[in-house]
Structure 1
């Protein structure tokens, strides 16, 4: 075997051009530093809200609709792994604000930050405990027989389970970027989760640290999420609002609550490793979860370029529900862009509002 050697090729460097590029980078870096110094902590969203109910770490917030109420209230069930203000992160990129402007009362479940005392909380505690209590509170406050439930990602899985077990309390069900078949060939997250010893992790940590999970998610697209986006930051460093927008996203990404150990272990085993939801083999606290018990209208919104929840994982819901009033909406973007992009404000918010009003 012979070694490989590069041919002797002269490299032409223009000293003047190189100096100019270095000067440009220094100017960009200086502008970025100046704009970073003026930033403030922004972790609660931008739309006015009030806490109307609380239990343990959980808070239920209300965002009042503007003008006449257009439909029964919308209750949002977000995922456990990140903070729900992603849906209200900026005034012009807020799904919540867009829906309130259309006259919808919005209620949002904020799961809070689990501490060691919460390590024993199970799937049933979240789905049949906290969600059910919040549904009943919204029904009481609004004198409604049923609510419009909107589930996001893992919160969408919770919403599917809840609605299947309590169809009389859910008027209409919307799920966004929600996995149903967890073992599609392109599901990178499940490929990672399949090899996780969740029992050992829960025994070691109690609650699973949010930072540990964040590393796992970032590792699915390491160059784009670890290198590329920070290089791109220099190009917007002289734009104060663009820098603020970037850092709001960074705050959200790394503001990851720890996961209640028992719930994390149960979710990983039953959903990722055993794929019980799509097989109608799921039992939570003795309650059999069958998706054909979803007899209310269902709107399933998925993202075409989602690397965490591939479209096929979400679209599997179509053949499982028990309702004939089932619709899908494909968003031309990714898992996060479905909330914070200009396309989202033009496509997703109006679609949800129109769909609900048509079924009021």
Structure 2
């Protein structure tokens, strides 16, 4: 009974407060904001630029001081930039991938380069952010030194979606365009239900909470993750159409034919150092969706690694920063006199 009382108190209580790592806003456009997180003690010339998914909010990357992805990297000597896409409103329904990539991402990277004074930059894309970062790197002329993608969907010939959904979308029975045209910008509630439907038996986290309600550290992490999982973001209608039609349905990143802002997207154009990370226990982006990227990119220096984590836990357990640092440190031009 005491455990049940504690669980009730946790679920019915106020949401936890997110204490961000030290940061400052250095650029904004519409609802999007570019944040700069300065290194605690700068060791590397080349800063990192994070691109997160359009489906979720990026504070999962900086959700607690103990496990923060961004904090872990700034503490290791990297300057970090994060593009927060913001929450599109109805008036943003015509924003598509073209606009996001060229008007938002490309301009934000230019601003990060100017702000940092660096000649090159390393990009880190998480989930769909990795897909967008790969598209961007394949068409931009900006100096991308390294590209890191984690739990990235590239090959959409396979997915965790129910088979009937996939068949319905491919044969036209499921009409994504009509949904987007009716709502303009897809409401956050629909995005939440879409992801929840991919894991319909959402009970195990609550079983874990009941079992470990006495563990204050576990409860704190659980509350933060639960808040983030329930905090979906709206999705601009035009980008929603492109994502489902051109990427998911027609699989153009693998089959070819994707054009963004008049530029042909060919992952062979990615020739910078490349690092792909997959999670062994990922129940949202399967490894067969990520692995083909290794044959598609044109980089000579490319690494693929599978880690024992889930899609979200990779960012919650403190694993991500040391894994990235191990690969990235030798590719980031260490400052003279910087301590190891």
When normalised by structure 1's length, the TM-score is 0.86
> 1:193/1:125 Cα in 2 relative to 1: closer, same or farther (>3 Å)?
farther
Q: From 322, 332, 338, give the equivalent of 2:314.
A: 338
Aligned length: 326
Within a 5 Å distance, the mapping from 1:49-68 to structure 2 comes to 49-68=23-42
Matches of 1:255 and 1:109, distance apart in 2: 18
Question: Which residue does 2:338 correspond to in 1?
Answer: none
Question: Which residue does 1:69 correspond to in 2?
Answer: 43
1:206 aligns with 2:178: no
Cα deviation 1:158-201 (Å, max 9, x = unaligned)? 101110011542111011111111113xx123853552311110
1:321 aligns with 2:293: no
Cα deviation 1:30-74 (Å, max 9, x = unaligned)? 2233455664443x5531211111110000111111113324110
Segments of structure 2 that go 5 or more residues without pairing to the other structure are: 334-340
Q: Which is richer in helix?
A: 1
Matches of 1:89 and 1:258, distance apart in 2: 20
Q: From 118, 127, 139, give the equivalent of 1:165.
A: 139
Q: Larger radius of gyration, structure 1 or 2? A: 1
Matches of 2:297 and 2:192, distance apart in 1: 32
Matches of 1:54 and 1:93, distance apart in 2: 27
> 1:150/1:218 Cα in 2 relative to 1: closer, same or farther (>3 Å)?
same
SS state at 1:277 partner:
helix
Within a 5 Å distance, the mapping from 1:108-147 to structure 2 comes to 108-147=82-121
Q: From 166, 177, 194, give the equivalent of 1:216.
A: 194
Within a 5 Å distance, the mapping from 1:96-115 to structure 2 comes to 96-115=70-89
Deviation at 1:282, TM superposition (A): 1.0
Matches of 1:215 and 1:153, distance apart in 2: 18
Q: From 318, 322, 329, give the equivalent of 1:357.
A: 329
Question: Are the counterparts in 2 of residues 181 and 313 from structure 1 also a CA contact under 8 Å?
Answer: yes
When normalised by structure 2's length, the TM-score is 0.91
SS state at 2:292 partner:
helix
Question: Are the counterparts in 1 of residues 191 and 233 from structure 2 also a CA contact under 8 Å?
Answer: no
